[in-house]
Each structure stands twice: as C-alpha cells, then as structure tokens.
Amino acid sequence: MTASPPAGSCCIAGSNGPLGQVEAESAAARFKALSDPMRLRLLSHIAAAECNDVCVCTLTEPLGITQPTVSHHMKKLVEAGLVTREQRGRMAHYSIVPEAFAQIRDIVDVRGPTP
C-alpha cells in the first residue's frame, strides 16, 4: 500500500519525465566523479573563476596537493564531461561545462527542468 501525500500537498515531478538508459548512465558517471571531496573542491575553484578558465598551476597551492594529483582528479572530471581541458604550452587550462551542470540540476531539482 502506497502512502498518500499529506492533505494540501502534491507530488511534483520533473517535466522531462523519467531518465532513459543513456541519460542515466551519463548522469551516474557525473555523480560518481562528483562523489570525491577533492574533485568538489577543484570544481569550486574553477567555478569561482566564473567564465574564465583556470590553469592547473593555480590549483596546487590553495588545495595543498601536487600537480600530478590535480591532473589525476581533473582527468576524471574531464572524462565525466564536467570540465573541458585545453593545453597551452606545458600547462593545462580547465573550464566548467555549463550544460553538464544544467543536466545535474534538472535531475536533482524536483521542481522540473531549468529554463
């Protein structure tokens, strides 16, 4: 027996409907990449740059980790489609992929998709 919602409330479903297999696999890969605290910290530093890209060289000191560790975590974020990587000389520069975060927002926001 399924419990009914309390009087005066209603169930709110996203207007996009349930996820298909491909969408669910893509979203799961993104959530998996986001499940690591260091990756969340790296993303927050990149997001703080707003629309500017961030050089890998600026991420080591504030996070207290080595460049190879940054590169390892950033590779996972790139593979998940959350950030892009552009090589400039010897340094990699990273940028947020806004569409990826719009998909995540649409999945976790029970009020429906972003406009």
Side-by-side strand order, sheet with 54-55: 54-55, 91-96, 83-88
pLDDT in tens, the chain (115 residues): 555 555 544 455 555 678 889 988 988 999 999 999 999 999 999 989 887 889 999 999 999 999 999 999 999 999 999 999 999 999 999 999 999 888 888 888 866 555 6
- Judge whether 115 lies within some domain: no
How many domains does the chain fold into?
Answer: 1
- Judge whether 51 lies within some domain: yes
Quote the domain boundaries for residue 74.
21-105
Q: Where are the alpha helices (DSSP H) in 1-115?
A: 21-34, 37-48, 60-63, 67-79, 98-108
- Judge whether 48 lies within some domain: yes
pLDDT score of 64: 94
- Judge whether 67 lies within some domain: yes
CATH number at residue 98: 1.10.10.10
The strand pairing partners of 1, in sequence order, are none
- Judge whether 81 lies within some domain: yes
- Judge whether 91 lies within some domain: yes
Instruction: Say if strands 54-55 and 91-96 run parallel, antiparallel, or are unpaired.
Output: antiparallel
Q: What is the DSSP letter of 5?
A: P
**pTM exceeds 0.85, yes or no:** no
pLDDT score of 112: 53
- Judge whether 11 lies within some domain: no
- Judge whether 114 lies within some domain: no
